[in-house]
Amino acid sequence: MALTAVSWSTASQVSDLSGLVLQNQRPIPELGDKDVLVELRAASLNKRDLVVAKGQGGLVAPPGAIPGSDGAGVVVKVGSQVQNLQPNDRVITHMVPDKFPNDATPPLGDDELPGWNHICAGLGQEMNGTLTTYGVFPESCLVKFGNMMSFEEASTLSCSGITAWNSLMGLEGKQVKKGDWVLVQGSGGVSVAALQFAVAVGAIVVATTSSEEKGLRLKALGASHIVNYRQTPSWGAVAKELTPSGRGFDIIVDVGGNATLSQSVAAVRRNGVMTVIGMIGEADAEPTPMMAVLFVACVVRGILLGSRAMMRSMVKFVEDNKIKLALDDEVFALADLKDAFKRLEEQKHFSKVVIQIPGKIQSEEV
């Protein structure tokens, strides 16, 4: 009997998620020379996954595509030209490969940062993703990790983790260091990962939130100060006053887009770095003009994921520093994906929403 998988499939993209269908015996494709068969053990969800599933923002997935970009598992089998992986290796997915099935998408070197076209052509959209018990991925979409992290923790690094790492470590000469002041916004995956990474190097972190409960969790992870943005509309100036002599922040990780950018500009220090990595705030918020940064004299970076080389450096950093990556309190089974999406959409989660995938070999013929 041939190996099959339990997989979610994007039959159609509709706003009520009715187009997501769970297949119980999806055939596993043959491995190409540079492909790797992975038994997935965990996946985590991003806002992108929800947007793709609903067909919003012009993000199109081919019918039958497996959703999800973030995952961790165990190598089962490798293609004949796979060089750096072998069966039983523990691996994390990286959303974008070095070469794409779509010839119109240019290849990516190890140190190259992906563009939006690469992300749209990557896992969970044009390429099959991680919400499955077994997946076939190019070797370049996988990074090894050791026993220090659980599969659930490792699955959070594929998108939000690498984005946080790029925000803090991606600009040569401006990497976060001990004694720097860092501002993170909210308690989503990128912000929590950035908090944990910055604390690990000895930076002082200020976090914003509207929830007292989540504020306590952020403090427990190492945030030195919490600012409630709902109670304090001008939170940028208030947060800035917490820094030495009110100088402002060395690095700001902005996830809210137009809803938060004006406050980030108010909080950043001269020659500081403001990374713009998301737009989870109110969609109708007043845009912040680029000229606003002229008199602040800061660096502004747009961030889309990170390179494969960054991914490997991040995994080593997490393992070397024995960071216990934060997860949401509620963990979902693969069959309960739609409930997990609901929790994500309602923003009831802390850090990342995680799907446990207890894979089971259905055939020895792999």
3-class secondary structure for 262-311?
HHHHHHEEEEEEEEECCCCCCCCCCCCCHHHHCCCCCEEEECCCCCHHHH
What single letter denotes the amino acid at residue 78? Answer: V
Residue 180, domain extent? 163-302
How far apart, in whole angstroms, are the C-alpha atoms of residue 104 and residue 169?
Answer: 30
Mean pLDDT in residue range 45-56: 93
Q: 345 and 248 in one domain?
A: no
The pLDDT score that the predictor gives to residue 281 is 59
Average pLDDT over residues 212-220: 95
Domain shared by 296 and 170, yes or no = yes
Q: Decide if pLDDT at 280 tops 80.
A: no
Examine residue 282 and state whether it is found in any structural domain, yes or no: yes
For the chain, the residue count is 366
Is residue 362 included in any domain, yes or no? no
When pLDDT is averaged across residues 307-330 and rounded to a whole number, the result is 96
Total number of domains constituting the chain: 2
What value does the mean pLDDT take over residues 49-66?
92
Q: CA-CA distance, 343 to 328, in Å (whole number)? A: 10
**Do residue 120 and residue 174 come from a single domain?**
no
- Choose the weakest-confidence range: 106-115, 303-312, 352-361: 352-361
How would residue 1 be classed by pLDDT, with cut points 50, 70 and 90?
low
pTM of the full structure: 0.93
Same domain, 145 and 179: no
Co-location of 201 and 255 in the same domain: yes
Asked if 259 and 282 count as a contact pair (C-beta separation under 8 A), the reply is yes
227-262 residue pLDDT tens: 999 999 899 999 999 999 999 999 999 998 888 999
Enumerate the H helices of the chain as residue ranges. 47-54, 116-120, 151-154, 162-169, 189-200, 212-220, 235-240, 261-267, 308-320, 337-345
pLDDT of 333-366, one tens digit each?
999 999 999 999 998 999 999 999 974 444 334 4
CATH of the domain at 52: 3.90.180.10
**Quick check: is 310 in a domain?**
no
| CATH number of 284's domain | 3.40.50.720
Mean per-residue pLDDT over the chain, rounded: 93
